[in-house]
Amino acid sequence: MAIIWPYPSTPSSYVSAGQQVVVPPQRCPTCLRVNWSAGWVLALAASAAVPRTDLDAPWSVYGRVSVITKSVRTCGARVSSHSNWGMLLAQPRGHLLLIALLLTITGWRGAPTEAIQPIQDSWMPLSTSGNPGARREHIAVWTGSQMLVVGGTSCGGRCGPGPFPPPGWHAGGRYDPATDSWQPMQPPPQLGTDAVIWDGSKMLTLGQGRQAYDPVRDSWRTLSNQGAPTPRSQGVVVWTGDAMLVWGGSTAYGVVGDEARYDPSNVSWTPISSAGAPSSRYSAMGVWTGSRLLIWGGEGVSRSLGDGAAYDPVADAWTPMSSVGAPSARSYAAAVWTGSALLIWGGRWPDHPDGALYDPKTDAWTPMNAVGAPDTPIVDASVWDGSEMLVWAKDRGFAYDPAADRWRQLPQEGAPSARVSSEIPIPSIWTGTDWIVWGGLSSTSLEALDDGARYSPPAQ
């Protein structure tokens, strides 16, 4: 018995029992990924988004055979079946046929338990096997192939007397979404990692210590202290492409407004001009535009702030940002750079269920539509996916499209359980195709969490 799904070169789609599922070429992975309910699965890896018209034979095997023994998925669709052999055959004129031969070790079986289901605009839980353990207030960064997680505390929201630091501060892990697997990592030599950037080859962390982690060697080293800023938390840290900029934050001595630049190529720190810089603050919103560091809002010595400035590292100079039409004073807001604008939404102290976009070219603010937005002003995680701002707000996800000035709610099936941030937002990363949210504090039990999920947006 065979089930055949034709894959025509135009339009890009799979057809199963008369149902069409759109498959965006720009999001196509390079291999067939299959779920199974029993036994072994043999699947053929292929790049289905690229039509083949150069095949001489009427039928040719397209790709390579791989043994897959875990939950996997295909380009734009999730396939679930019993044990089977699967292969992709290529036919001239750019058509691909997927033929599933339903065969087990003991003989033939019936039809697949499920038809092809779309995976666009859906969540997929992360494996919990081998993860670094429950935590909140941790940091995470994307290397291009792995998510690195380190720091934080496993102490929940109802921590009682106990050792300091609480368990979990040293542990870390490396998550590979291609294999849905975790690997351990060497613990950092110093405690209190609070901010992180990826410089192209190493993870640079700040907090009570300044450190660099090399995932290839699985090793840490301490950054130079000469000219370095004082240890701090809740400051702004960005990567410019050749240097790390650090500004503001909270130290053991109070709120600060100083800044410094770290150059990995010569392993040195240099001070940043303070002329025209924003006043001292922590939990400010900061983004790198490609040429400027934008700082806005945050918490001052005794109140939330509603102003900001742009820093030019080439000129070592600050320029104030317009306050006309700007959001009201706030801290802990979601902030992302869209490629042309700074997008700010939500925030605390006081709570603000609104936001605005700032265009640095025109030095102008534009209000955001609030219809369909999260019903809480507190955004626990946020990221820019190339066309939308994705946010997590307590128990669900939302997406905002600035081009259409429109909000939509993300599906809840398979989404992470209800969770919130505490002093530091829940770290989340964009892989280029998926949004990963992991860890945080349970909003129901107030215990630290050791799970998460990845969200694949719809095609744009």
**Domain residue spans of the chain:** 2-117, 123-456
What is the Cβ-side half-sphere exposure of residue 340, based on CA atoms within 13 angstroms? 7
Distance CA 390, CA 311 (A): 26
Cross-strand bridge partners of residue 97: 6, 89
Give backbone dihedrals phi and psi of 41, rounded to 5 degrees, phi first. -125, 130
pLDDT at 29: 35
pLDDT at 206: 86
In 3-state terms, what secondary structure has residue 27? helix
Radius of gyration of the chain (CA): 24
Sheet with 244-251, strands from edge to edge, namely 236-239, 244-251, 254-263, 268-271
* Contact indicator for 208, 191 with CB cutoff of 8 Å: yes
pLDDT at 327: 93
pLDDT at 48: 37
Distance CA 217, CA 460 (A): 38
Give backbone dihedrals phi and psi of 27, rounded to 5 degrees, phi first. -110, 5
Cross-strand bridge partners of residue 331: 348
pLDDT at 33: 35
163, amino acid identity: P
Q: Domain 123-456 in CATH: superfamily?
A: Kelch-type beta propeller (2.120.10.80)
* Contact indicator for 255, 300 with CB cutoff of 8 Å: yes
pLDDT in tens, the chain (460 residues): 222 223 222 222 222 222 232 333 333 333 333 333 333 333 333 333 333 333 333 333 333 333 333 333 333 333 333 333 343 333 333 333 333 333 332 232 333 333 333 378 999 999 999 999 888 888 999 999 999 999 888 776 555 544 445 555 567 999 999 999 999 999 888 776 778 999 999 999 987 778 999 999 999 999 988 888 888 888 999 999 999 999 999 888 889 888 899 999 988 999 999 999 999 999 999 999 999 999 999 999 888 999 999 999 999 999 999 999 999 999 989 999 999 999 999 988 777 889 999 999 999 999 999 999 998 888 899 999 999 999 999 899 999 999 999 999 999 999 999 998 877 789 899 999 999 999 999 988 888 899 999 999 998 7
Distance CA 26, CA 6 (A): 20
